[in-house]
Each structure stands twice: as structure tokens, then as C-alpha cells.
Amino acid sequence: MIFDTAVCLRHPHLPQGREAGEILRAMDAAGVDRAALMPFEVVQRFNWREANERVAAFCRSRPDRFRGWGTLNHYDGPEETDRIADLGLRGARIFTSWGFTPGTGLIERFYVPIAEKCRERGMLFSIEHEGHMPTLGGAVYSDCIVADALPDRPVLMSRCWTWGFWPDYLAALRECPNLVIEVGVAPSSWIRRAAEEAGADRMVMGSWWPEQEPAAVIAHVRGLGLPTEDEEKILGGTAARLFGK
């Protein structure tokens, strides 16, 4: 099974991905069996609840193909996370794009309670990286804070696409055994190192379609020369385990 953990619903810059049929056609063309949709429109429109409801409606329309991420203004905290869970969405993703990242000293105060609520409601927690976040400690310092606070729960590092910061991503994976990394089209040597050092069971694929074609990510992973078992984990097995059937 191929499971794309990052498909944009209503991308703020690109016109694709506004209808379920269009998303399904893109998935079928790439051989993707299941996709986790996310409301990326919020980084431009700030329509948190409306966007989450839209994702939930898409997921209800094809529960065999779609899973859903919700998102929120991190200042709204656990109460809004409950609302995301009540919609039937499988995870909460914090977007750091376009200046949404709080200062380093506020990560524990605002991100950790959301992650704790996700644990309580059986949801995944994920932080999206818009390149290198302007926080003390490097690109993934916020992920490490949350991972240390909830050592029994996976924390997904999403959109690790900035090539120059893969040393940070790998360092975080070494430091925090509960971190999981999302892989797009990134440097082959770094992805292989992540598989070797952290294990493919801590790696998922995420295309951020329509930014990248899922087929390109799949081909990239399959061209790394990894054992077939590791390919299967990255392309779908790990995601299926984290999201549940």
C-alpha cells in the first residue's frame, strides 16, 4: 500500500486540489492508495474551523481513500484540538509557514498542551517546517521539545524539504527516538542515512501535492537502493501503523 501523508486541500498558491475527484485522479495516476489531506489554505485565509470541516467532509466522502489532518491557531490550544478530534480527523498539524511560529520560549507553553490533547484523543501530532524556523536551537528544536515532553507518542516532522537543514533533522532523530520524519524529494544521501540511523519505521512519504508529484516521491524512494522492506515502510507501512486502518 502507498500512503501519502501530505496532500494539500486548497493550496494557497496553486489551483489544483479543490475537488475530491481531482485529488483522487492524481492519487490514482501515481498509484497512491491512501492520502492524508490537510487544510493548507489556512496559512493565507486563517479560516481554521471552516478548513478543518472541509477536510472532514472530504474524508467522509471517501473513507477508504482519505485520512485527515486538522490544524489550528496554536494559541487556541487543547479546546480547539478537541473540536478537531470531534470532526473525526486523525491528527493535528501545526503550520509554521508565513510567520506562525511562536518564539522558542513559548513552544512548551502552547505546542505541548496541544500534543497532550492529541495523545488523549488518540491523534497524531505534527509540525510543518517552512524551511529553517527562526527559533533558537535549529530547524527542529520545537519538535524536540514536544517529543521530550511526550516520549511515549510519535511526533511527525513534516515538510523537511530544505536541503541545508537535513543535518538538523538527522540530529533530532538521533536525540528523540519518538520523532518520525516525512520524506519528499530530498537529497538521496540524507534519506539513506535516516533509514540507516533511525530506521524506515520512523519514516513516511509526503508529497505536498500539488507542490510535488506523488509519483516523483515514490520513484525517488524506490531509487535509493534500500531493502524492499524499508521501501515499503517509507511508502506506506509506517503511515498505516501511525494512522491506523
User: pLDDT tens digits, residue range 103-125?
Assistant: 777 889 999 999 999 999 999 99
Assign 163 a pLDDT band (cuts: 50, 70, 90): confident
Parent domain of 96: 3-243
Give yes or no for residue 80 having a pLDDT over 50: yes
CATH number for the domain spanning 26: value is: 3.20.20.140
CB 172 within 8 A of CB 206: no
Cα dihedral angle (54, 56, 60, 63), rounded to 10 degrees? 120
40-62 residue pLDDT tens: 999 999 999 999 999 999 999 99
81-94 residue pLDDT tens: 999 999 999 999 99
Closest CA to 184 of 202, 165, 211: 211
Q: Decide which of 101 and 47 is more confident.
A: 47
Domain count, the chain: 1
Query: Residue 43 half-sphere exposure, CB side, CA atoms within 13 Å?
Result: 21
What integer pLDDT is reported at residue 167 of this predicted model? 87
Rounded Cα distance between 143 and 123, Å, is: 16
Quote the pTM value.
0.94
CB 244 within 8 A of CB 212: no
Q: Is the peptide bond before 151 cis (omega within 30 degrees of 0)?
A: no
Give yes or no for residue 97 having a pLDDT over 60: yes
Give yes or no for residue 139 having a pLDDT over 60: no
Give yes or no for residue 162 having a pLDDT over 80: no
Query: Residue 117 half-sphere exposure, CB side, CA atoms within 13 Å?
Result: 21
Backbone φ and ψ for 179, nearest 5 degrees, come out as -80, 140
What integer pLDDT is reported at residue 65 of this predicted model? 98
Q: Which helix H or strand E contains 7, and what residues bound it? A: strand 3-8
Q: At what angle do helices 166-175 and 188-197 cross, to 10 degrees?
A: 0
What integer pLDDT is reported at residue 134 of this predicted model? 47
Q: Which three cell numbers stand for residue 55?
A: 477536510
Assign 136 a pLDDT band (cuts: 50, 70, 90): very low
Q: Which three cell numbers stand for residue 129?
A: 517546517
pLDDT above 90 covers a percentage of the chain that reads 82
Give yes or no for residue 241 having a pLDDT over 70: yes
Closest CA to 29 of 209, 211, 215: 215
User: Where are the alpha helices (H) located in the chain, listed in sequence order?
Assistant: 20-30, 42-45, 48-61, 77-86, 104-121, 141-149, 166-175, 188-197, 214-222, 228-232, 238-243
Query: Residue 114 half-sphere exposure, CB side, CA atoms within 13 Å?
Result: 31
Q: Decide which of 117 and 97 is more confident.
A: 117
